[in-house]
Structure 1
Amino acid sequence: MRPSQRVAEAILALPADRIRRVAVDGVNGAGKTDFADALAGELNVRGAKVIRVSADGFLNPPRTRHRRGRDSPEGFYRDSFDYGRMVRLLLDPLGPEGNREYIREVYDVRRERQVRRLPELADDNAILVLDGVFLLRDELYRYWDYSVWLEVPFDVAVPRAAKHGLGIKDPDPKSVKNWRYVEGQRLYMAECHPRDRAKAVIDNSDLDNPVLLT
């Protein structure tokens, strides 16, 4: 059984009396989007109603993301996302006391501009699957009913991210061009220990053969 199947079954085993919120976390190039899509597919075939969202829809504009400098690791970790709006517009409405009216994105990173989306109404037993970096940080950790950490070393993740144009341009993990991303992730891991916080840890170094570690 593939890890995405086992994770799907674990999520469906959770109490279904509320919307279940699931995070798929990992470094840039860990394969978060692909894994989250596969997980959503496994949930769908089992009859679940999935809300599929990317954290990139809650990015800050460049003036905020780069206010500590374009190469700042701390800026990457602390300033990339608008967590206030992510919580207010997405996570709280889908929480136990929420009204189920959520907004899936406020920012289009490809066009680097704010977007306005109409609220959507979630089914009362829907499952939110959200992928992104830094999702197990202190500000967000308590919102997840289930969480996944994709374990991928930088010497695999960075070239993969560069190949697919995921913000990183240089495939060399030690390049100064990657200082912002690699050291920003190391700051996050040292501060929040996402591997320890996740419900499931998956070695995703080989995209064709992911391995469930815990």
Structure 2
Amino acid sequence: MAPPTDTADTLLHELRDEVRQHYPSGRVIIGVDGVDGAGKTRFAEALARVFAEDGSAVFTASIDDFHRPRAERYARGRDSPQGFYLDSYDDGAFRRLLIEPFRSRSGPFRTAAFDLDRDEPVTAEAQDAPADAVLIVDGIFLHRPELRGIWNWSLWLHVPASIAAARLAERDGADPDPEAESNARYRGGQALYAREADPRTAASAIVDNSFPDAPVRIFGDFC
């Protein structure tokens, strides 16, 4: 990955400094939330590099590595928005294998439990961390009620639906029209999430990531 531009680098350092004002030491867990195509993984990796500049131990993970099996994800139907929102992820495994041991320092933690492409469980390498460490998790639906209390600090990445759809079309071959019928499951699931969880309000900060080389922090009810 190319290094961040000056604009992106400045924002990343400002966000890191904000977190450190509240959490100068100890175990810190950060969530990077947003719709598919928002640029969450790239942003999380860039933020991790900035945290590591002062020698901090930094770990990254994705909720995508804690999916449920395909049969469970599609139990409500392959086109079901409710299934997308409610059944995609194994919150129990996410908490048990990653969040709880990391936060409590009760033992090694694992950053993955499921291989989505192969549709089967995996046993990720067990990792440990020093007493002062940062864990940055990216993914969708990170502010749903079941997970909201996990984060010490969290971020919502805003992008217009048209930009997110264009990115998914390039990455996954999806239809670039966000209103296309083939996108209804995902569009509807995100709408359910927005109504139930209001992630823009729940997040500690909102960043417009329409242009990844020039992300902009936004405030109030811009979204």
TM-score, length of structure 1 as denominator length:
0.94
After the TM superposition, which of the residue ranges 74-83 and 4-13 deviates more from structure 2?
A: 4-13
> Contact (CA 8 Å) 1:25, 1:136: kept in 2 or not?
yes
Q: Distance in 1 between matches of 2:133 and 2:169?
A: 34
1:163 is matched by which residue type in structure 2? E
After the TM superposition, which of the residue ranges 12-21 and 99-108 deviates more from structure 2?
A: 12-21
> Contact (CA 8 Å) 1:101, 1:119: kept in 2 or not?
yes
1:15 aligns with 2:23: yes
Q: Distance in 2 between matches of 1:107 and 1:137?
A: 20
- Aligned twin of 2:156: 149
> Contact (CA 8 Å) 2:105, 2:131: kept in 1 or not?
no
- Aligned twin of 1:58: 66
- Aligned twin of 1:177: 182
1:3 aligns with 2:8: no
After the TM superposition, which of the residue ranges 71-80 and 117-126 deviates more from structure 2?
A: 117-126
1:122 to 120, 129, 133: 129
> Contact (CA 8 Å) 1:40, 1:52: kept in 2 or not?
yes
- Aligned twin of 1:106: 113
Q: Secondary structure at the match of 1:164?
A: helix
1:139 aligns with 2:146: yes
Q: Distance in 1 between matches of 2:150 and 2:107?
A: 15
By percentage of residues, which structure has more helix?
Answer: 2
Q: Distance in 1 between matches of 2:88 and 2:147?
A: 14
User: Which residues in structure 2 correspond to 1:38-117 (within 5 Å)?
Assistant: 38-95=46-103, 97-117=104-124
| Aligned residue pair count | 211
Q: Where do 5+ consecutive residues of structure 1 fail to align?
A: none
1:41 is matched by which residue type in structure 2? R
Q: Secondary structure at the match of 2:52?
A: helix
Would you identify which runs of 4 or more consecutive aligned residues in structure 1 move more than 3 Å? none
State the Cα RMSD in Å: 1.4
Q: Distance in 1 between matches of 2:203 and 2:31?
A: 9
Q: Distance in 2 between matches of 1:8 and 1:161?
A: 28
Q: Where do 5+ consecutive residues of structure 2 fail to align?
A: 1-6
Percent identity, please: 39
Q: Secondary structure at the match of 2:102?
A: coil
How far does the alpha carbon of each residue in 1:34-91 deviate from its partner, in whole angstroms, 9 at most, with x for none? 1001101111112211111011110111001111111111100000000011011111
